[in-house]
Every structure is written in C-alpha cells, then in structure tokens.
C-alpha cells in the first residue's frame, strides 16, 4: 500500500488536487506557488503520447471555445501557452468577426467583439497538462480515483484523501476539482457536515456533435458558424475549425428539439435551422465520426460557500461546485477565474494559515462563477419549459433590456464592444448599464428583435454555389 502519511506526517507543505481537468490543472499550477509539493490525483489513466479522448471528460467531443478572459488568465499562469496551442493547430479567432453568426435577433455585422480560442478540448487539456507538469513540484497520480476525505484528530479538519487503491495522501489543503460527478456533498456528510443548498435551472438543452474533414475552399470567407436558437425557434448549431484540418459541428436544441444522433437525422436537423448556412457548409463535407450526444446540461450551483460549518483544509472548485449550461461557453473561463481567485487568497496567507482559511477561500473562489451564472440562468429562463425558480421582476426587466442590447450589438460597435466584453467575462455586466450604452440601446427600442430574413448575412451574401433566386 502506498501511504504518504507515513512519509509526510503533517503533509504541511503538501496540497492535493482531485481531478486533472481544466480546473484541477490550473488550481495545481497556482498551489505550486505556495506549497512545496502538489499531487494531482486523477481517476482516468492519462495518455502520455498526445491529445486523446478520455472518459472523465466526455464533453470533449462537443464544441469548446475559450473566451478571451480565459485565454488571458491561462496565458498569465502558463506564459507562452497560447502560441504553443496555435502551433499545434488551435486558432484564436475574432468573435463575431471571423464567424457568420446569427444571434437571436439578427446577423452580427462586422462589429468589434472579443477573441476566442478554438481547438479540440483534447488538445487544450493535453497542452495545459504538459505545461503544468513541467513544474517539478507538481506530481501526477493518474488512474487513481479518490474515494473520501481523511480527517485529523478533531475528526473535522480535512488532512488528506483516501484513494481507491487503499492509499492515503496527507495534505494541508485538499482541492476537489472532480467536476460534475463530484462526491463532495457525500464526503462532507461522512465527516459530519451539512449538505449544501442547490440552485438548479434546467432548460433541457441537448447537444449532438460530429467531426468533419474541413473541405478545401480558398473562397471561404469565414472560419466558424454560429446559428443561435431562440424561444420560438429553439434549434441552433455551431461549427468551429479544429486542429488536424477538422471541423467540429455541434447541434443544439431545447426541450422537444434536442438534436438527433443518426447520420441522416443530423443533416436533417442542420437543415431545419433558422438559416441554411450550416447545412450548406456540411452537406457535402466528409464526416469523420458518427454524431455523439450530450444531455446533462443544467445549470447547477452547489452552494458550499453558504455553509456555516466548513472543514479546515478543504475547498471545492470548478464544475464540482458550479456548472453552467455549456451553450454560453463559460466553464473553462470560470475555472481560470477561480484559480486566479485562489492564487490571490493564498498570496495573502502564511503557509500554516492556509488550512484554516478554507472557508474564506471557498467563498472567494465561488464568487468567480457569479457573472457566468447570471448570464446563463437569465437567458435560460426565457424558455418556458426551463425547470427552476421563476424569474423575478428584476430578471424579467433585465431580459427585456438584454433583448435590445442584442439588437444593438448586432450592428452598433458602441454596443457590441461592451456586450462582448461582458460575454467574454472580461468586464462586469454593469458596463452594459453605463449611461452612454443605455442611451444607445434605448434608441434602438423600436427595431424588431427578430430579423426579416435570415438566410445569409448582408455582409457575406449567399454563397456562389447557391441557386440563383428565381
């Protein structure tokens, strides 16, 4: 039996991170600035040869975009990583500039927005993992599921973790970053702590995704496509370029409109979108896979940060604490924001003070989820079948206002800039409530919130191959 407790009785200079997903990797990176040793405990066996799918991150087969705020934060933690990702085939795109993007209101014009990084999730994880593990203070223990918490003599402070193989790791701080399947509530209950309150909004959104070979077409004037659904037409899709000359296409639908996984049905769904742009792109493209579904997309916040009783030495981060409807593309950026908040909290503490500061760290890192949560839940509440607490008056007013912001952002640079600053989590939502922005938004109050024609955006026009209008 491997038992680090014997080797390091106190574990005082050792932190353990459970889960080597994006949250766990970034948390390990910042913990290594304070602890002499950090162990990343991962349930999956991890390939050492290059990017690879693994069962612990099943969402990797669906489109993942990293908003500019996430890119900046991760670059700050791992200098040079953006360039390495781009060399390996990821791309940093202008959003909406490099896309044909039909919002719930209308097509985005060539307005200023935000940068996003696109690439396969496997490549992103692999590259971040390689960079994180360059730090010799960080050790990876893969193929080793954590099964519970170990407590100290008081029976309440967390002083380590138990592993399925019977091993134990002693640590001054244990970070649970095991994602949506985290057992933290049960582990906390087992050491006498109350369960967290849970807030949940489920718009019953489903994904279905398929890889394609990117057709060679020198005349193509876009890099990606995004057709958003809306409550009266809840079908959408996104297409992004990936490393290896591939496209990844994710179909999106709510309620009865969840997208299918049959080959023909996949194309049929693409054809039924508000614009033919995506169907036109893929109908003759060569599929590289069958479609894969993902259905568990509810927003769910386990409010560990609200608990009055909280053990020393334990923190829950990332999807394990708060997860979002993925359609807004915020989970990885929130993981980076939480790691950044963790870094800031640790910076103000002596090493010996860190275990006792766990409750404060939990509160501060949880705050990283607030804006993404507000965006995702207020948008999901527009769908009448969304399960969750009903919108209050303030949310309904905000929804009305945001509909007009969207109309403005489609074509007005003065509105698109703050809109994308907020959407990329770079700026607080108050930016959309500055007097100048409010006046511009209100000046567009009479414009329709749905476009008259949706086929192709005016700045692009129909493709050369389209049938001439009769």
Q: Give me the least distance between CB of 131 and ligand FAD, in Å please.
A: 16
Alpha carbon distance 300, 331 (integer Å): 12
Candidates 29, 37, 62, 230; binder of ligand FAD (CB under 6 A) is 62
Nearest one of 137, 84, 130 to 243, comparing CA atoms? 84
Nearest one of 310, 312, 363, 342 to 12, comparing CA atoms? 312
Q: 56 vs 231, which CB is nearer to ligand FAD?
A: 56
Q: 43 vs 444, which CB is nearer to ligand FAD?
A: 43
Q: 84 vs 180, which CB is nearer to ligand FAD?
A: 180
Contact 108, 56 (CB under 8 A): no
CA distances from 75 to 50, 72, 176, 335 (A): 21, 5, 23, 14
Q: 116 vs 312, which CB is nearer to ligand FAD?
A: 116
- Number of neighbouring beta carbons within 10 Å of residue 87: 9
Alpha carbon distance 10, 27 (integer Å): 21
Q: 20 vs 30, which CB is nearer to ligand FAD?
A: 20
The alpha helices in 145-240, defined as continuous H runs, are: 184-190
For residue 108, state whether it binds ligand FAD (rule: CB under 6 A): no
The alpha helices in 412-450, defined as continuous H runs, are: 413-423, 435-442
Q: 299 vs 427, which CB is nearer to ligand FAD?
A: 299
**Sole window of 36-44, 94-102, 383-391, 462-470 interacting with ligand FAD (rule: CB under 6 A):** 36-44
For residue 64, state whether it binds ligand FAD (rule: CB under 6 A): yes
Q: Give me the least distance between CB of 336 and ligand FAD, in Å please.
A: 9
Q: Give me the least distance between CB of 30 and ligand FAD, in Å please.
A: 14
For residue 57, state whether it binds ligand FAD (rule: CB under 6 A): yes
Candidates 330, 359, 382, 444; binder of ligand FAD (CB under 6 A) is 330
Candidates 17, 38, 41, 140; binder of ligand FAD (CB under 6 A) is 41
**Sole window of 12-20, 261-269, 397-405, 451-459 interacting with ligand FAD (rule: CB under 6 A):** 12-20
Candidates 12, 91, 272, 294; binder of ligand FAD (CB under 6 A) is 294
How many chain residues interact with ligand FAD (CB under 6 A)?
A: 38
**Residue appearing with tokens 């971040």:** 128
Q: Give me the least distance between CB of 439 and ligand FAD, in Å please.
A: 33
Contact 258, 206 (CB under 8 A): yes
Q: Give me the least distance between CB of 54 and ligand FAD, in Å please.
A: 7
Q: Give me the least distance between CB of 337 and ligand FAD, in Å please.
A: 11
Alpha carbon distance 426, 34 (integer Å): 27
Q: 37 vs 444, which CB is nearer to ligand FAD?
A: 37
Candidates 39, 59, 228, 377; binder of ligand FAD (CB under 6 A) is 59
Q: Return the exposure string of 164-203: e unless at least 16 CB atoms fall within 10 Å of the residue's CB, then b.
A: eeebbbbbbbbbbbbbeebbbbebbeebebeebeeeebbb
Q: Give me the least distance between CB of 244 and ligand FAD, in Å please.
A: 18
Window 141 to 160, contacts with ligand FAD (CB under 6 A): 145-146
For 198-274, list the strands marked E by DSSP: 198-201, 205-213, 224-227, 235-242, 246-254
Q: 23 vs 427, which CB is nearer to ligand FAD?
A: 23
Instruction: For residue 213, give both structure tokens.
Output: 């070979």
Window 331 to 390, contacts with ligand FAD (CB under 6 A): 331-333, 335
**Residue appearing with tokens 């399925």:** 164
The strand order across the sheet containing 37-41 reads: 138-141, 37-41, 14-18, 173-176, 314-316
For residue 224, state whether it binds ligand FAD (rule: CB under 6 A): no
Instruction: For residue 181, give both structure tokens.
Output: 């399947």
Q: Give me the least distance between CB of 294 and ligand FAD, in Å please.
A: 4
Contact 172, 165 (CB under 8 A): no
Q: Give me the least distance between CB of 154 and ligand FAD, in Å please.
A: 25
Candidates 319, 379, 380, 412; binder of ligand FAD (CB under 6 A) is 319
Nearest one of 142, 160, 138 to 3, comparing CA atoms? 160
CA distances from 54 to 59, 236, 424 (A): 10, 27, 28
Candidates 20, 90, 277, 282; binder of ligand FAD (CB under 6 A) is 20
For residue 22, state whether it binds ligand FAD (rule: CB under 6 A): yes
Window 173 to 212, contacts with ligand FAD (CB under 6 A): 177-181, 207
For ligand FAD, the binding residues (CB under 6 A) are: 18-24, 41-44, 56-57, 59, 62-66, 145-146, 177-181, 207, 294, 318-320, 326, 329-333, 335
């Amino acid at each position: 039996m491997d038992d680090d407790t014997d080797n390091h009785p106190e574990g005082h200079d050792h932190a353990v991170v459970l889960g080597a997903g994006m949250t766990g990797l970034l948390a390990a990176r910042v913990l290594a600035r304070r602890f002499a040793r950090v162990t990343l405990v991962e349930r999956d066996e991890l390939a050492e040869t290059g990017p690879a799918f693994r069962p612990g991150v099943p969402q990797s087969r669906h489109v993942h975009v990293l908003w500019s705020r996430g890119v900046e934060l991760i670059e700050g933690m791992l200098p040079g990583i953006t360039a390495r990702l781009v060399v390996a085939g990821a791309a940093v795109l202008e959003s909406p500039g490099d896309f044909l993007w039909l919002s719930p209101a209308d097509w985005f014009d060539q307005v200023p927005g935000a940068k996003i990084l696109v690439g396969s999730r496997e490549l992103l994880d692999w590259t971040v993992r390689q960079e994180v593990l360059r730090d010799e203070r960080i050790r990876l223990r893969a193929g080793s599921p954590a099964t519970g918490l170990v407590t100290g003599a008081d029976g309440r402070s967390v002083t380590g973790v138990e592993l399925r193989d019977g091993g134990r790791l002693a640590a001054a701080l244990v970070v649970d970053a095991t994602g949506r399947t985290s057992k933290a509530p049960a582990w906390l209950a087992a050491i006498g702590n109350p369960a967290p309150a849970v807030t949940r909004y489920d718009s019953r959104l489903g994904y279905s995704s398929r890889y394609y070979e990117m057709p060679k077409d020198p005349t193509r004037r876009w890099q990606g496509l995004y057709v958003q659904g809306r409550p009266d037409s809840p079908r959408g899709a996104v297409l992004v370029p990936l490393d290896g000359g591939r496209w990844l296409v994710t179909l999106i639908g709510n309620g009865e409109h969840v997208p299918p996984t049959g080959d023909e049905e996949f194309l049929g769904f693409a054809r039924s979108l508000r614009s033919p742009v995506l169907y036109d792109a893929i109908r003759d493209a060569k599929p590289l896979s069958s479609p894969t579904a993902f259905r568990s997309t509810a927003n769910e916040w386990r409010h560990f940060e609200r608990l009055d009783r909280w053990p020393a030495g334990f923190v829950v981060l990332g999807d394990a604490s708060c997860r979002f409807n993925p359609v807004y593309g915020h989970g990885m950026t929130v993981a980076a924001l939480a790691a950044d908040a963790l870094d800031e909290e640790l910076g103000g503490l002596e090493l010996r003070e860190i275990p006792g500061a766990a409750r404060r760290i939990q509160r501060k890192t949880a705050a990283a989820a607030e804006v993404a949560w507000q965006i995702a839940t207020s948008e999901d509440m527009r769908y009448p079948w969304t399960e969750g607490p009903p919108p209050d008056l303030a949310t309904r007013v905000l929804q009305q206002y945001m509909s007009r912001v969207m109309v403005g952002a489609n074509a007005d640079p003065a509105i698109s800039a703050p809109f994308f600053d907020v959407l990329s989590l770079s700026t607080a939502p108050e930016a959309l409530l500055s007097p100048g922005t409010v006046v511009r938004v209100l000046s567009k109050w009479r414009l329709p919130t749905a476009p008259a024609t949706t086929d192709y955006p005016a700045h692009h026009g129909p493709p050369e191959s389209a049938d001439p209008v009769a």
